Chains A and B, each alone.
Chain A
Amino acid sequence: MQHSQRLGTRPKLDVERVELPNGLVLLLSENHSVPSVSIKAIVGAGSRFEADDKAGLASLVGELLDAGTATRTSKQIAETIDATGGQLATFGDYQSSGVVMVLLSEDAGLGLEMASDLLINPAFPEDKVQQYIDRRVAQIKARLDVPRTLASDLFNEIVFEGTPLHRPPLGYDQSVKTITPQDVHGFYRRYYTPDNTKLAIVGDIDKDEIKGRVLSTFGKWKSASPFEAPQVPLARRQSVPIEKSVSVPKEQVNIVIGHVGIERRNPDYYALLVMDTILGSSPGFTSRIPRILRDEQGLAYSTFSNITSSAGLDPGRFIAYIGTAPENLDRAIAGLRGEITRIVEAGVTEEELEIAKSYLTGSFVFRFQRNSQVAEFLIEAEVYDLGFDYLDRFPELIRAVTVESVDRVSRKYIDPQNLTTVVVGPVDQQGKRTEKEGVS
């Protein structure tokens, strides 16, 4: 088979970065192909800054941003956005929070005014805080309905013990119930500041006109004192194997295997991206785990592994996942562990390396198709200091990866002897298959 070494067609981005006097970073890029605009106003705060007994607070604050401002009720906010036909969401996750919008470009001005109002003047009305807490408690219960989520949550509890990543950003039933309006206001005041915020606006805009509008809206945001991020405890990789099984009456067993992963700023990120593509993260079934466990053995519809996709400001996780019928439990676990061990001990081939590199460089263009993807990239580039020339540098970073560097990072960041294994499904506490009742 011929390996294409052509560069493909590179996306071109014309980016302008402006720092406002109040410290807010503005990122602009024009694209006039569709009359729409993406606005992302992202605050560098999330559940990594909250206390265990208030787990869920950061995401609740993020969700409550559209529950009313000094001059608008939640209903007025919804009616105003819906009348444009656009979409608005507010959120808080692990390391970021904020407001995201997709609008027709003629509504960009209205969108900016609205986004700034939600971020600068949220009212957090007491009745809304209580209403959102009640709804959150119900949503947390609904999570238990999805065995894959349950397995993933349990895995995090074990692997990230002692760090904020151990808890689900949505929080726990008990912790959410203790959250007060004072907690909400306190978190907002501490972390929502202009110098901790990045605003990306991408699409059918005129940069000069938009800059004026940003100054007259977000420019009014003042912070009392310069933002300082608190220290966050970092996860350490385990030094013993850990196994945990939970019994739930479902058709499938869900298995998550892995341990602590890496930070996004880790210089080995690119070699690990290639390793991910070879081991378990290619689309289709070219990488080892999906090819062998799904395509050849028919064990699963969904199976993969990954270390880079969860890499953030804090170390993420290395995981391998499979969902399979209970009778395949032992084969599935052995299969995943076997592939993890094999890549660490036997490495990768030159051919696998070239295929993975060809894929990564060739598919890069697809990450810049929608305005919202470009806005997402601009924020990431800013958060991780990637530089806006990253579009040109990425192919070079990938091409520099060798068989030796993949082997080195596999050995360094993957430890097949000390993995956490979580099994959720029709199994007993020892992880053995329970017999099904009734007729089949």
Chain B
Amino acid sequence: MTTSTTSIGAETGGAQTESFITRNVRKTILPNGLTLLTKELHDKPVVATMIWYRVGSRNEELGQTGKSHFLEHMLFKGTDRYKKGEIDLITHLNGGANNAFTWLDFTAYYFTFASDRWQAALEIEASRMRGTLFAEEEFNPEKQVVEEELRIGLDGPWEALENEVWAAAFRQHSYHWPTVGWLEDLKAASGADMKAYYDKWYHPRNATLVIAGDFVADDALRKVEEMFGRIPAGPEPARLGLVEPPQRGEKRLIVKKETPVERLLIGYHAPAVAHADSYALKVAEALLSTGKSSRLYQRLVEQDQSVTRADASYHDHIDPALFYFQHELKPGFNLADVERATYEEIDRLKRADISLGEIEKVKRQVEASLVLSSEEPLQQAMLLGQYETIAIDERVPEDSRGYHYLDTLLDRIAAVTTKDVARVAEKYFTEDNRTVGYLINDKEESGSAA
């Protein structure tokens, strides 16, 4: 059995200088500020091309929420070079796939093509970086499409609860609103607003291009220089520098919705990407909810049998965000009891009630998940682009900055001790630091739509 190529394995104890994802990554910064990451992978005849813009709902302002996401839609509606529909048509004709996504901190676009035709992606990205048109006749139908997307969210019970909890937890910082924005802001948006927002953020100096797969890096660099080199760097993007002050006391809220299933969401303010405490919190997240042997599964699903689903989540963001718990209750069980049981499990962490075997298990889970979710070039491009976009400011230690975050991640996870987990649990999982949301059924009795 081949084991020699695996780069994981904390038990060997050796310090790593690079992970298998960052191996052979080349980084080039063009004179206009565009960052290029290339990674050759020749085992499959495909190439993934992604472009990441460092702009998301975090960069929006009150009354103008949802613009980052709306803009993502508009970037498929045509440029001075590609007519509406042509971007999809080219993708389609070449047997490729394309899509895009927007979140709090970023907006990203991707193409996957067979390796003999992947450069079509570069031409499209170069064109729509500055050449996107905002024709009124395209803008209005697309606004309706985005409204429909937002309505799907309004019909979702988890979205309803998440929106309220984040809005309560963040009163100053722009993580206050959801990425899709508020419906009323969206309805008020104009094509001119959108164009101004585009002109502010879509420039080489605010973008990272990632190419991963079966291509030759030198050729790709020449092509990128040819396609993107003449685009002006653009203005220095203005940063808002919003800071959420410490929370001074528990916040509690209730959302009513006609639903047969009650839900609980508890969010604690937690540190930003690459913060020294973030690694112990990642270990805590896995201890609590990765796999059926995890604490919350064993406690709530197996022992109490009070929920159908118990999750803990902690994602990397540019600014401090939330470490949150989400539980879906079985009928007949009580939200307050499930909330109390969750605190009991948190208290066990605070007491460092964690065996050595258990902590080794979760470290291996974190490491293995990185390997097991990186089979496709696109998956690797996602990780490289994400960290090059969110882990770049001065707060991030130099050896972990940008995609190098992935080099140090496993070593930092491997260094976490049970005491570290107890310490961060004690520090962040406090009553004053939390926002608790209940989703309850606002239709008495019934419960069945039939």
Co-complex (A, B) = yes
- Residue numbers of A with Cβ under 8 A of B are 1, 3-4, 6, 8-11, 31-36, 66, 74-75, 77-79, 81-87, 102-106, 108-109, 131, 134-135, 137-139, 141-142, 144-147, 150, 204-206, 209, 246, 248-252, 282-286, 291, 294-302, 323-325, 355, 358-366, 368-371
Whole-angstrom distance between the Cβ of B59 and the nearest chain A Cβ: 23
Whether A135 lies near B1 (C-beta < 8 A) is no
Q: Is the CB of B291 within 8 A of A365?
A: no
Query: Could you say which of B139-147, B165-173, B265-273, B428-436 contacts chain A?
Result: B139-147
- 12 residue pairs bridging A and B, Cβ less than 8 Å apart: A9-B116, A104-B6, A131-B305, A138-B261, A145-B157, A206-B2, A249-B258, A298-B141, A300-B145, A323-B151, A360-B95, A370-B376
User: What 19 new A-B contacts, CB under 8 Å, besides A204-B1, A286-B88, A369-B376?
Assistant: A6-B116, A11-B45, A31-B43, A35-B3, A74-B302, A83-B293, A83-B364, A104-B372, A141-B448, A248-B258, A248-B449, A283-B91, A284-B76, A286-B85, A296-B141, A300-B145, A355-B92, A363-B97, A366-B46
B22 within 8 A of A: no
Residue of B nearest to A277 (CB): B92
- Structural contact, A78 and B293, CB atoms closer than 8 A: yes
Interfacial chain B residues near A361, Cβ < 8 Å: 95
Contact residue among A36, A83, A324 (Cβ-Cβ distance under 8 Å from B361): A83
B93 close to A145 (CB less than 8 A): no
- B145–A142 contact, CB under 8 A? no
Q: Identify which of B3, B76, B297, B448 gathers the most chain A CB atoms within 10 Å of its CB.
A: B3
Check B345 for interface membership: any CB of A closer than 8 A.
no
Q: How far is the CA of A145 from the CA of B443 in the complex (A)?
A: 13
A139 to B374, CA, bound (A): 31
A105 close to B88 (CB less than 8 A):
no
In the assembled complex, which residues on chain B have CB atoms less than 8 Å from the CB atom of A365? 44-46, 95, 114
Chain A residue nearest to B294 (CB atoms) is A82
Min Cβ gap B187→A in Å is 11
Closest to A147 in B: B155
CB contacts under 8 Å to A, within B72-123, are 76, 84-85, 87-89, 91-99, 112, 114-117
Number of CB contacts from chain A to chain B under 8 A: 243
Q: Across the interface, which residues of B come within 8 angstroms of A286, CB to CB?
A: 85, 88-89, 92
In the assembled complex, B152 has its CB within 8 A of some CB on chain A: yes
The answer to whether A134 and B330 have CB atoms under 8 Å apart is yes
- Complex contact B376–A82 (CB within 8 A): no
Q: Report yes or no: B45 in contact with A283, Cβ–Cβ below 8 A.
A: no
Instruction: Please list the residues of chain B having a beta carbon within 8 angstroms of any beta carbon in chain A.
Output: 1-3, 5-6, 8, 41, 43-46, 76, 84-85, 87-89, 91-99, 112, 114-117, 140-149, 151-152, 154-157, 214, 258-261, 290-294, 297-298, 301-302, 305, 308, 328-331, 357, 361, 364-369, 371-372, 374-376, 447-449
Q: Is the CB of A295 within 8 A of B45?
A: no
* A284 touches which of B91, B147, B366 (Cβ 8 Å): B91
In the complex, which residues of chain B have a beta carbon less than 8 angstroms from the beta carbon of A77?
292
A324 to B365, CA, bound (A): 41
Q: In this complex, which of B95, B97, B157 has the most chain A Cβ atoms within 10 angstroms of its Cβ? A: B95
Asked whether, in the complex, the Cβ of A135 is within 8 Å of the Cβ of B308, the reply is yes
Q: How far is the CA of A33 from the CA of B156 in the complex (A)?
A: 39
Contact A106 B3 (CB under 8 A): yes
Query: In the complex, which of the residues B45, B148, B331 contacts A323, with contact meaning CB atoms closer than 8 Å?
Result: B148
Once the chains bind, are B149 and A301 in contact (CB under 8 Å)?
A: yes
CA distance A224 to B292 in the complex (A): 33
Q: Beyond A85-B365, A301-B145, A361-B95, is A36–B260 a contact (Cβ under 8 Å)? A: no
Q: Are A4 and B331 in contact (CB under 8 A)?
A: no
Given A32-B5, A81-B291, answer yes or no on A324-B368 (Cβ-Cβ < 8 Å). no
Please name the residue on chain A nearest to B43 by beta carbon.
A33
- Closest residue of chain B to A424 (Cβ to Cβ) is B449
| Minimum C-beta distance from A114 to chain B (A) | 13
Q: Which residues of A contact B298 (CB under 8 A)?
A: 75
Interchain CB contact under 8 A, A105 and B117: no
Q: In the complex, which of the residues B293, B364, B372 contacts A79, with contact meaning CB atoms closer than 8 Å?
A: B293
User: In whole angstroms, how far apart are the Cα atoms of A86 and B369 in the complex?
Assistant: 7
Q: Given A9-B45, A34-B375, A204–B93 Cβ distance below 8 Å?
A: no
Closest 5 pairs between A and B when the two form their complex, measured CB to CB: A362-B95, A85-B368, A298-B141, A9-B45, A284-B88
In the complex, which of the residues B1, B143, B152, B371 contacts A209, with contact meaning CB atoms closer than 8 Å?
B1
CA distance A201 to B290 in the complex (A): 24
Partner of A301, one of B91, B148, B301, B302: B148
With contact pairs A35-B5, A106-B1, A323-B152 given, residues A142 and B328 touching in the complex (Cβ less than 8 Å): yes
> Are B2 and A299 touching (Cβ within 8 A)?
no
Q: How distant is the Cα of A33 from the Cα of B20 in the complex, in angstroms?
A: 11
Q: Are A359 and B6 in contact (CB under 8 A)?
A: no
A75 with B293: CB separation less than 8 A? yes
The smallest C-beta distance from B118 to any residue of chain A, in angstroms, reads 11
Which residues from A are CB-within-8-Å of B94?
4, 358, 362
Most chain B Cβ neighbours within 10 Å, of A146, A284, A295, A365: A284
A35 and B291 in contact, given A252-B155, A325-B151 (Cβ under 8 angstroms): no
B8 touches A104 (CB 8 A): yes
Residues of A within 8 A of B372 (CB): 36, 85-87, 102-104
CB nearest to A290 among chain B residues: B88
Complex contacts, A204 vs chain B, CB 8 Å:
1-2, 5
The interface residues of chain B lying within 8 Å CB-to-CB of A75 are 293, 298, 302
